[in-house]
Amino acid sequence: MENTVGDFLRSRRSRIQPEEVGLPAHGRRRVQGLRREEVAQLAGVSVDYYVRLEQGRGGSASDAVLDAVARVLRLDEVEAAHLRALARPPRRADGGPGRRQVRDGTRLLLDLMPGVPAFVLGRRMDVLAWNALGDAVNGFSARPAGEVNAARHTFLDPAAREFYPQWEAVAAETVSYLRLDAGRYPEDPKLAALVGELSVRSEEFRRLWADHQVREKTHGTKLIHHPLVGELDFGYETLAVNGAADQLLVAYTAPAGSPTAERLALLASWRADGGQAVGTRVVGTQDGAARAGAARAGAARTEGAGAPGGPAAD
């Protein structure tokens, strides 16, 4: 899983032209954007020091130096934190957390939000738990066991491009968040395997991964074309689950009285009457029961878990 500090710094300095930072642009240039010596000059460090930093030999780089480089390269707060993680990688023999549990209290919270599509996102963009309306909107329970993963769905499910009318934006956001995860856990073999699989199977993923964009998943908008109720224009809010590292509770929102809120109420009403959406078709309760009650109304579901409190996916 290629994710080195040199790759990141080269991608960022290639986007800044000398004249943008007050340097002369005359003469033939072999590289696009700023040269390494120009970044070093503007950051107030020696060229040798900056070269060692790009080569991954700057493990002792101070916050002051990294902040100076971030300022020269015009990194935002998330990018600057990503630079620090890459320049001073955490020492983790196992590449980060292994199996994760979604607390009973978190599942109960999902259940107590019946009018809000909500789910818990974990490491590597695995979807660990969801409530009934979150499942009705996203169809988590219809996906194969062990594959309830937002990145796989976005890039490997042919239906995703219709499901997300703004697929390009969703794809870019997905890769940017995975890049951030890779910076925090550079030795994670499961993340490396996921990135490798997506790179082999998706040309779009390879292109976006090579761009080295990083982005936190905090809030935003999500446009969905639902197979039953049509267009759903959501906002979303992402909340960290305190005491559960790397777990995020994602909730979709819609203003009261909006077309999306009305369609969501219709979907919730239909679901409460015993229907179940599986992919692009409707399945009644008898057919749904054959799926082991995977999306029973009013119950938050956890992938890979049996009784409440069971382990979630890796």
Assess whether pLDDT exceeds 50 at residue 309. no
Q: Which pLDDT value is given to residue 90? A: 65
Question: CB–CB of 8/86 below 8 Å?
Answer: yes
Calculate the average pLDDT of the chain: 82
pLDDT-based confidence at residue 310 (cuts at 50, 70, 90): very low
Question: CB–CB of 54/36 below 8 Å?
Answer: yes
Choice between 96 and 65, residue whose per-residue pLDDT is larger: 65
Question: CB–CB of 31/38 below 8 Å?
Answer: no
Helix (H) or strand (E) holding 236: strand 230-240
Q: Which pLDDT value is given to residue 147? A: 79
Express each pLDDT in 197-240 by its tens digit.
999 999 999 999 999 998 888 899 999 999 999 999 999 999 99
Express each pLDDT in 72-128 by its tens digit.
999 989 899 889 888 887 655 444 444 478 999 999 999 999 999 999 999 999 999
Q: Tell me which residue has tokens 């002369």.
A: 24
Q: Which pLDDT value is given to residue 160? A: 96
Q: Which pLDDT value is given to residue 287? A: 35
Paired strand residues for 236: 220, 252
Express each pLDDT in 162-201 by its tens digit.
999 999 999 999 999 999 998 888 889 999 999 999 999 9
Assess whether pLDDT exceeds 60 at residue 39. yes
